Structure 1
Amino acid sequence: MSETAVTATTTFRERLYVTWWIWPLPLLAAALLAAEVHMGFPGVRSWLPYVVLLPLTVFLIIRMGSTTVEVSGGELRVGEAHIPLEMLGEVEVIGPDRRRAAMGRELDPAAFVMHRGWIKPMVRVRVTDPEDPTPYWIVSTRRPEQLAAALKSGVTKG
């Protein structure tokens, strides 16, 4: 059996991760929980909660707090979700000043939302597929102009 490799060009890729100022609170909570367990068990078991809870907290922050936004191979990929670029329409950059309205009174409940509270700018992309009940995707990004440009160039090519 032979396989043919298809190389997909990536026009935009961004890894969204938890910013440094969010880390202290969960780590402090894990340390306090470990200290409570430490006080109840003497000997070797007293240090075990620190060895388990602190690395586990770091792992969960990294795993649950990171998402990839990518325009590649004719698709917009946000985490596990993806949609072909030819099914996308108008692209709108939402600045930090309009974020509250976009995520509040203007938000359609059927929209696909990937929102990270510590990332202020967002991009809203209309879905033009009549079969899709999702009216638009709204995605947090640190580089909204670059994402919008990659989406617009992909939409016009497709």
Structure 2
Amino acid sequence: MNDAAPSQQPAARHDDPPLHDERLWAPLWWWLVGGLVAFTFVVAVWWVLTDAWAIGAAVVFFGGLAAVLLGSGRGRVRADETSLHAGGANVEWEWVSGAVPLNAKQSDEALARADDGRTWLFTRPWLKTHVRVRLADPADRNSSWLVATRRPRQLATVVLAHAGARRPDDGAAQGADQAAPAGNSHA
């Protein structure tokens, strides 16, 4: 008789790299223009008031600029094996039905039509390309997401490859009065 422990299957890896991971940092030229504007205010304060006021104005204006640009640039678009994450929101693949990459002109048109309240927006003013992600969750008030990205084709390809994964059958498996799964959250 063999006393060796039975072979175990390897545990699922939770450290697999994401399929798409993108930080939406502000571009360098936004920092340069913002710095120039802040510098202009500091010079104006320095011209009128004392050196101490100019130093205080520099701290306030440059600190404010950094806070605004770093804060708005913290946005992240991430797709992993289980869901799509955009900012603080996520949607599991089973509730995604499709995706379309949008160029700058198409993005402008989509943003103009997004005022109906059914499209959840994750945008940044310095990004002109987006992906429209269609949702298939009847309990969700949003029929689609409009997600800013620098790589719309790559993101759309990843989303399309996973759209509808593990979706329950539309008929008998899910009754009309059954609630959406707990993990399906949209912020």
TM-score, normalised via structure 2 length: 0.71
Matched, 1:38 2:46: yes
Moved more, 124-133 or 4-13: 4-13
Partners of 1:48 and 1:130 lie apart in 2 by 53
Verify: 1:26 aligned to 2:54, yes or no: no
Q: Which has the higher strand share?
A: 1
Q: Which has the larger radius of gyration?
A: 2
Q: Which moved more, 1:69-78 or 1:50-59?
A: 50-59
Match of 1:7 among 1, 14, 24: 14
| Deviation at residue 73 of structure 1 after TM alignment | 4.3
| Letter paired with 1:105 | R
Shift of 1:130: 0.7
Residues 23 and 73, structure 2, Cα contact 8 Å, conserved in 1: no
1:102-113 paired onto structure 2 within 5 Å: 102-105=110-113, 108-113=116-121
Unaligned runs of 5+ in 2: 1-10, 167-187
Q: State the partner residue of 2:143.
A: 135
TM-fit CA distance, 1:157: 3.8
Q: Which amino acid aligns with 2:43?
A: A
Provide the aligned C-alpha RMSD in A. Answer: 2.5
Distance 1:26-1:115 versus aligned 2 partners, 3 A rule:
same
The structure-2 alpha-carbon separation of the partners of 1:79 and 1:106, relative to structure 1 and needing over 3 Å to count, comes to closer
Alignment of 1:49-68 (within 5 A): 49-68=57-76
Q: Mark the runs of 5 or more structure 1 residues left unpaired by the alignment.
A: none
Deviation sequence 1:6-44 (CA, Å, 0-9, x none) = 615311111111122222332223223223333444354
Distance, in Å, in 1 between the alignment partners of 2:53 and 2:126 is 37
The CA deviation string for residues 82-130 of structure 1, in whole angstroms up to 9 with x for no partner, is 1111111121111223222211136542210112232222111111111
- Which residue number corresponds to residue 126 of structure 2? 118
Distance 1:50 1:117, change over 3 A: closer
Work out whether residues 8 and 73 of structure 1, in 8 Å CA contact, stay in contact via their aligned partners in 2.
no
Task: Give the Cα–Cα distance (whole angstroms) in 2 for the partners of residues 46 and 144 of structure 1.
Answer: 44
Q: Distance in 2 between matches of 1:135 and 1:123?
A: 14
* CA positional deviation for 1:131: 0.6
1:81 has 2:105 as partner: no
Which stretches of structure 1, 4 residues or more, deviate above 4 A after TM superposition? none
The size of the alignment, in residue pairs, is: 155
Compute the TM-score of the two structures, normalised by the length of structure 1: 0.82
Q: Residue 13 of structure 1: SS of its match in structure 2?
A: strand
Distance 1:88 1:47, change over 3 A: same
- The structural deviation recorded for 1:144 is 1.1
